[in-house]
Amino acid sequence: MKETTLTCKICGNSTRNKIFVVKEMMFGFREEFEYFECFNCGCLQFKKTPADMAKYYPTGYYSFIVNAEAQENMRENFSERYLKNKRTTYTLFKKGAVGRILSIIAPPPQCLIQLRKCNATFNSKILDVGCGVGRLLLVLNHYGFKDVRGIDLYIKKDIFYEDGVRIFKKEIYQIENGYDVITFHHSFEHMTQPLEILKKVYSLLKPKGYALIRMPTTSSYAWKHYGVNWVQIDAPRHLFIHSLRSIQLLASMANLKIKEITYDSTEFQFWGSEQYVKDIPLRSERSYCVSSHRSFFSDEEIKSFKLNAVKLNEEKLGDQICVYLSKS
């Protein structure tokens, strides 16, 4: 590990910053890329972005696939959607006996709890940035949200679903009009100009609007323990991996106020990183997410990883955070 005089793009520091060499391991290309960690603010950032990033977002990239929950929602009948709407209403507004009972029987997904913290309603205008094919937006639409749309630079073309969900092949700088909620679900770390992005978010939000950023963080046990084998570095797709200090600096410079930071890391931080230590790519046939019975993890180990993830979240050392920002 060596030091560099490269200047941090977040805080401007150029002393005692450390270079790290990280391999591409999602698809197993094993190309090496240089990152550096800022000594002052703790942000881990890409040294030089590859000219052709599209290579690292092939058709099989996970955000370009509609997930099972979205597909299941598309097949729901009227009764199922009615009950789900009742549960959503209770989650957002704490109203309705039926919804309260349903929430006990089948706890609502985290995306609804997150939107509640953003003061969202069924009529809120919601933009998901870096949404892929819009699988989360499809889920939200079926939960009853009426105005959800997304943008993603790496989809092949605009997508218009029959239920009204619209996905545009655009950057956030091309978007206009006010939004009640703007979300980045593990997309913010993929973007080249984080400060400019947040300034644009500020301009797009309505006066009482919220932004929600879910992302990995270097202020975590996983980064300190696994180093370059930490699965959430995800070279070269992740360009900036923020510490708590660096995201606080960015928010302040963009005139956004951090209302809350929660932790939602999972067992992935352990089994994914342990695989990288053993040179097993995420998409390998031996990977736990591809074929759990071919992986080298026992059921007991996975259970232990899950318990440790919960513990780290409670200690505010998990490797994923959810940052809630507002204009006031």
pLDDT recorded at residue 31:
95
pLDDT tens string 174-219: 998 899 999 999 999 999 999 999 999 999 999 999 999 999 999 9
pTM for the model stands at 0.90
Range in 42-46, 195-199, 210-214, 289-293 the model is least confident about: 289-293
Residue 245 phi, psi (nearest 5): -65, -45
- Contact between 133 and 142 under an 8 Å Cβ cutoff? The reply is no
Instruction: Please check whether residue 304 is in contact with residue 248, taking contact to mean a CB–CB distance below 8 angstroms.
Output: no
* Whether residue 26 has pLDDT greater than 70: yes
Rounded mean pLDDT of 90-96?
77
Instruction: Quick: pLDDT tens for 270-284.
Output: 999 999 999 999 999
The pLDDT value given to residue 94: 80
User: Amino acid letter at 21?
Assistant: V
Q: What is the mean pLDDT of residues 40-59?
A: 88
Report the DSSP beta bridge partners of residue 214.
185, 322
Residues 6+ apart with CB under 8 A from 262: 321, 322, 324
Which stretch of 88-92, 120-124, 143-147 has the lowest confidence by average pLDDT?
88-92
φ, ψ dihedrals at 258, nearest 5°: -80, 115
**pLDDT, tens digit, for every residue of 306-317?**
999 999 999 999
**Residue 97: what pLDDT?**
79
Any bridge partners for residue 18, and if so which?
Answer: 3, 37
Structure tokens of 212? 């929600």
* pLDDT of amino acid 74: 53
Q: What is the pLDDT of residue 58?
A: 79
Q: Using a pLDDT cut of 70, give the percent of the chain over it.
A: 93
Average pLDDT over residues 88-102: 77
Residue 241 above 80 pLDDT? yes
At residue 109 the predicted structure's pLDDT band, cuts being 50, 70 and 90, is confident
Give residue 20's pLDDT. Answer: 97
Could you tell me where the DSSP H helices lie in the chain?
A: 68-74, 78-93, 97-105, 110-117, 135-143, 194-204, 221-226, 244-253, 268-277, 299-314
Give the mean model confidence (pLDDT) for residues 67-77.
52
The percent of residues in the chain predicted with pLDDT above 90, rounded, is 73
pLDDT of residue 63: 64
| The predicted structure's pLDDT at residue 66 | 58
What is the Cβ-side half-sphere exposure of residue 177, based on CA atoms within 13 angstroms?
A: 5
Average pLDDT over residues 250-262: 98
**3-class secondary-structure state, position 109:** coil
Is the pLDDT reported for residue 120 higher than 80? Answer: yes
Q: What are phi and psi of 306, to 5 degrees?
A: -65, -45
Q: Round the average pLDDT of the chain to a whole number and report it.
A: 91
Of 50, 116, 65, nearest in space to 87 by CA: 116
Average pLDDT over every residue of 21-43: 97
Neighbours of 215 (CB within 10 A): 22
Cα of 18 vs its chain's centroid, Å: 25
pLDDT of 76 > 60? The answer is no
Q: Give CA–CA dist 112/115, Å, rounded.
A: 5
